[in-house]
Amino acid sequence: MDLGQINPLLLLASLMVAATPILLAAIGEAVVEKSGVLNLGVEGMMITGAVVGFAFGVNTGAPSIGFVAAAFAGAALSMLFGVLVLYLKSNQVATGLGLTLFGLGLSALIGKPYEGIKAPTMAKWEIPLLSDIPVLGPIMFRHDPMVYVSLIIVALTWYVLTRTRAGLILRGVGENHNAAHALGYKVIRVRLMAIAFGGACAGMGGAYISLVRVPQWVEGMTAGAGWIALAIVVFASWRPWRVLLGAYLFGGISVLQLNLQAAGVPIPVEILAMSPYLITILVLVVISLRGNHGAPGSLGREFHATH
């Protein structure tokens, strides 16, 4: 065992990389849930985003095109969920599960020809001046563009939700859809847009795993990241900045356990590998002790416009 191998600077830098997929998926899901819809299909949208992003990235040689394609794929898949839940009034929990199962199958099918190929590399952005700051520079300002894109999405989400009328309407729809309907807001349209946003984010999050984090395509490679993103939304009490905190904490844990594995710490590999899931459970318990404050009032309820 050699703990000296673990470089704290590298650890912190890779934390941001490890957290980005979950951050993207979680911020998207937070918006979906804020609008009053529970989409349990995050895992399915992520894995579909992962394979579609990878396929486009490999075929075009441009990871950025992969991300755009992944966002579209995630959004398209989420629209399937949206139509079922919002127009055909299907059960949200069951439909979300169905989306995950469907996405796992779809991605495996699409991904067959891409197994064993390496992803095109994504250039890092060394942000001028900032990246030269000692210690902080290498940790925070020498990443690939998607890390910054994800942070910008979090900031924008916060701004839109708390500071704009569109955000107020979205929160109103999620808090009490009957009241929003009575005031003349288009509940279904607002939710459909939120679901599409959530799908696009999850798709990009998945693509980040296959294009940057791993980077190759392996069947089932999201390995529960979508579910962890759902847990982080609860942990964050549906607040954007706390989603960021939750995702980075989680990223820290998974990076740390990988580093401990590499350093040959005398803890069985399996225990280290299961630790992120155990810690997620622990966090969920701690949060439920605090009570479910901040959950949108209409979360998961069926909306049927009355006359």
Partner 1 sequence: MTGDMRQGDALMTLEGLTKAYPGVLANDQVSFSLLPGEVHALLGENGAGKSTLVKMIYGLVKPDAGQMTLNGEAFAPVNPAAARAAGVAMVFQHFSLFDALSVAENIALGMDNPPSTRELASRIREVSQAYGLPLDPDRIVGDLSAGERQRVEIIRCLLQNPKLLIMDEPTSVLTPQEVEILFETLRKLTSEGTSILYISHKLEEIRALCEHATILRHGVVVDTCDPREKSARELAELMVGDKLHVPSRDPAEPGAVALSLSGVSMPSPSEFGTDLRNVSLEVRKGEVLGIGGVAGNGQDELLAVMSGEARAQDGSITLAGEEINTLSPGARRARGLLTAPEERLGHSAAPEMSLIENALLTGSVREKLVDRGFLRWNKTEKFARRIIEAFDVRTPSADNAAGSLSGGNLQKFVIGREVLQNPDVLVVNQPTWGVDAAAAASIRQSLLDLAHKGAAVIVISQDLDELMEISDRFTALNEGRLARPVPTQGLSVEEIGLMMGGAESDEVAA
Partner 2 sequence: MIRLEKRPQPSKVWGTLTPVLAVIATMIAGGILFWMLGKDPLEAIRTIFWDPLFHETFGPYSRPQLLVKAGPLILIAIGLSLGFRAGIWNIGAEGQYIMGAICGAAVGLAFYPSESILIFPAMVLAGAIGGWAWAMIPGVLKVKFGTNEILVSLMLVYVAENILASVSQGLLKNPDGMGFPGSRNFRDFPAAHNTDLIAGTGMHWGVAAAFIAVILAYILLTRHMLGFQVRLTGEAPRAAKFAGVNPTRLILFCLGTSGALAGLAGLFEVSGPSGQVSIDFNAGYGFTAIIVAFLGRLHPIGILLAGLLMALTYIGGELAQLMLGLPGAAIQMFQGMLMFFLLAMDMLSHYRVRWKTPAAAQEGAN
Interface positions with partner 1 (CB under 8 A): 165, 168-169, 171-172, 175-176, 178-180, 182-185, 293-294, 296-297, 307
Q: Does 91 bind partner 2 (CB under 8 A)?
A: yes
Give CA–CA dist 125/88, Å, rounded: 45
Nearer to partner 2, 90 or 131 (CB): 90
Nearer to partner 2, 112 or 163 (CB): 112
Q: Does 188 bind partner 2 (CB under 8 A)?
A: no
* Residue 176 binds which entry of partner 2, partner 1, none, CB below 5-8 Å type-dependent: partner 1
Cβ at position 163, least distance to partner 2 in Å: 30
Q: Which amino acid is at 26?
A: A
Task: Build a one-symbol-per-residue string for 36-75: x at contacts with partner 2 by CB under 8 A, - elsewhere.
Answer: ----x-----------------------------------
Measure the CA angle with vertex 216, ends 13 and 204; round to 5°. 65
Identify residues 200-259 at the interface with partner 2 (CB under 8 A).
Answer: 219, 223-224, 227-228, 230-231, 234
Q: Is 216 helix (H, G, I), strand (E, B) or coil?
A: strand
Could you tell me where the DSSP H helices lie in 85-186? 92-111, 136-140, 145-163, 165-175, 177-182
Q: Does 292 bind partner 2 (CB under 8 A)?
A: yes
Q: String of b and e for 21-46 (b: at least 16 CB within 10 Å)?
A: bbbbbbbbbbbbbbbbbbbbbbbbbb
Identify residues 110-129 at the interface with partner 2 (CB under 8 A).
Answer: 111-112
* Residue 168 binds which entry of partner 1, partner 2, none, CB below 5-8 Å type-dependent: partner 1
Q: Does 280 bind partner 2 (CB under 8 A)?
A: yes
Instruction: Give the closest residue to 79 by CA, choosing from 222, 205, 200.
Output: 200
Nearer to partner 2, 104 or 214 (CB): 104
Structure tokens at 137: 């520079």
Please report where in the chains the tokens 């990871």 appear, as a residue: 63
With the CA atoms of 129, 132, 133 and 135 taken in that order, what torsion angle do they form, in degrees rounded to the nearest 10?
150
* Residue 41 binds which entry of partner 2, partner 1, none, CB below 5-8 Å type-dependent: none
* Residue 94 binds which entry of partner 1, partner 2, none, CB below 5-8 Å type-dependent: partner 2
Count of residues that bind partner 2 according to CB under 8 A: 48
Long-range contacts of 108-115 (CB under 8 A, 24+ apart): 108/219, 108/220, 110/48, 110/51, 110/52, 110/55, 111/51, 111/54, 111/55, 111/217, 111/219, 114/51, 114/54, 114/55, 114/58, 114/217, 115/217, 115/218, 115/219
Residues 6+ apart with CB under 8 A from 135: 9
Among 116, 129, 270, 293, binds partner 2 (CB under 8 A): 270
Among 82, 103, 246, 296, binds partner 2 (CB under 8 A): 103
Cβ at position 203, least distance to partner 1 in Å: 30
Instruction: Give the closest residue to 231 by CA, choosing from 175, 170, 167, 276.
Output: 276
Among 10, 65, 102, 178, binds partner 2 (CB under 8 A): 102
Binding residues vs partner 2 (CB under 8 A) = 40, 80, 84, 87-91, 93-95, 97-99, 101-106, 108-109, 111-112, 219, 223-224, 227-228, 230-231, 234, 268, 270-271, 273-274, 277-278, 280-281, 284-285, 288-289, 291-292, 304
